Amino acid sequence: MRKLDWYILKKLLVTFFFCLLLFTVVAVAVDSSEKSEDFIHSGLTTSQIITKYYFGFVPFIWSLLFPLFVFIAVIFFTSRMATRSEIIAILASGTSYNRFLRPYLFGGVLLAGLLWVGYRYWIPKANAIQSSFRSNYLDKNDPTKNRVDGNCTRCYYKRVDTNTFVGIRNFDTASKSAQGFFLETVKNNKLVYNIRAGSINWDTATRRWKLFNATERYIDSMGERTNFRDTMLITLNLKPEELVKDDYIKDKLTTPELIAYIKQEELRGSEGLNAVKVERYRRTATPASVLLLTLIGAAIASRRTRGGSGMHLALGITIAALFIISDRFSTVFATKADFPPMLAAWMPNILFSFVAYRLYRLTPK
């Protein structure tokens, strides 16, 4: 790292953090104006709203717009360098264009690594703060949340291991009980064991499920046997907290927890996991897009044009908008159709890597 490298890297980091703080102030101001009535109805003090909501909201905004902040920062300060003929002087001194891009590459890797670590551990903890506030104070008045599907308010059908399936009806999260339960064990595509119970309750003392008015059926080569029991305890690979429908589960889990959650739900045969899988792969793809957008921004803004910084910013915003649109489209195709989640997460990076290469080839060196 020479003096030129430190000069460019310092400009990148200072401009980036300035954009980060500026957009954060704007985002908080807009969000607080939209949710002012909700904050009043919550009955919380200003300090409680800050700690219980904005301590989670601000990191969420940072993670959401992090690549865009880096992109704008690179275009802004590089365009100013081009306007003042600094880049012409650097290249005229014998510095190759590839050598000129070295501090951009280093800065992009540094910021991409920061975002990658944040996505794995820090941002999910912040999302847990924000989602807890939303579920407790905002979603209660939202008619699109907690809707009833048919006549069953909280029904679950899960596979707890390779051969066992359970069904639970009207589960109450407060009392950890349900009205209606069945369990089926299947071997070689044949039903060999079945339990049906009028109600079920979680026994905190034994940490097992307690069944009431249960009927057991054993089916084998000898025929069918039936047992009736008033109460019985069973052990299931299923805890009460796993029966709570959480719309924010994919945002709250750290990456190791998210991977374990996906494996567990796949074992249970759960459907609709594409959105969770896209989130898992995006936590790696988005940091990679930071490096990609850094190089694209440098290639765009290092060329001196008549429009100056305005032309560079206009072109940069257009490319950023196309990048976001492609990301949204691939996500919708993955969650609503059969598009592979990994490809959906990496598709914008794949497409815009060709854009980056084309811009690099066309940039005067």
Each residue's pLDDT expressed in tens, for the chain with a length of 365 residues:
688 889 899 999 999 999 889 888 999 999 988 888 888 888 888 898 999 899 999 999 998 889 988 998 998 888 888 888 888 888 888 888 888 899 999 999 999 999 999 999 999 999 889 888 887 887 665 555 554 444 565 777 788 877 888 888 888 877 888 888 989 988 888 888 899 998 899 988 888 899 999 999 988 877 788 889 888 888 888 888 777 777 778 888 899 999 988 888 887 777 778 888 988 999 999 999 999 999 998 888 887 766 566 777 777 778 878 888 888 788 887 777 778 888 888 988 998 899 888 888 888 76
In a domain, 210, yes or no: yes
**Same-domain check for residues 169 and 120:** no
| Strand pairing class (190-203; 177-178) | antiparallel
In a domain, 24, yes or no: yes
Res 148: pLDDT: 45
**Same-domain check for residues 104 and 188:** no
**Same-domain check for residues 228 and 339:** no
Res 149: pLDDT: 46
3-state class (DSSP) for residue 109: helix
Res 177: pLDDT: 87
**Same-domain check for residues 53 and 111:** yes
Please give the structure tokens belonging to residue 331: 């996500």
**Same-domain check for residues 12 and 115:** yes
**Same-domain check for residues 203 and 235:** yes
Please give the structure tokens belonging to residue 200: 């079920």
**Same-domain check for residues 335 and 276:** yes
Count: domains in the chain: 2
Residues linked to residue 202 through DSSP beta bridges, in sequence order: 209
Please give the structure tokens belonging to residue 184: 């089926």
Q: What does DSSP assign to residue 174?
A: T
**Same-domain check for residues 137 and 171:** no
Res 16: pLDDT: 92
**Same-domain check for residues 350 and 320:** yes
Say how far apart CA 23 and CA 319 lie, in whole Å: 19
**Same-domain check for residues 198 and 222:** yes
CB 254 within 8 A of CB 123: no
Q: What angle do CA 273, 275, 278 make, to 5 degrees?
A: 110
Our CA dihedral for 288, 113, 282, 136, rounded to 10 degrees, sits at -150
In a domain, 248, yes or no: no
In a domain, 115, yes or no: yes
Q: Which residues contact 150 (CB under 8 A, 6 or more apart)?
A: none
**Same-domain check for residues 14 and 55:** yes
Q: From the centroid of its chain, how far is CA 22? A: 24
Say how far apart CA 92 and CA 7 lie, in whole Å: 17
In a domain, 11, yes or no: yes
The number of helix segments (H) and strand segments (E) in the chain equals 13, 8
Q: Which domain does 66 fall in, by range? A: 3-141+272-362
**Same-domain check for residues 129 and 221:** no
Nearest to 295 by CA among 38, 70, 129: 70
**First-last CA distance in the chain:** 21
Say how far apart CA 65 and CA 42 lie, in whole Å: 28
CB 314 within 8 A of CB 72: no
Nearest to 327 by CA among 295, 293, 363, 362: 293
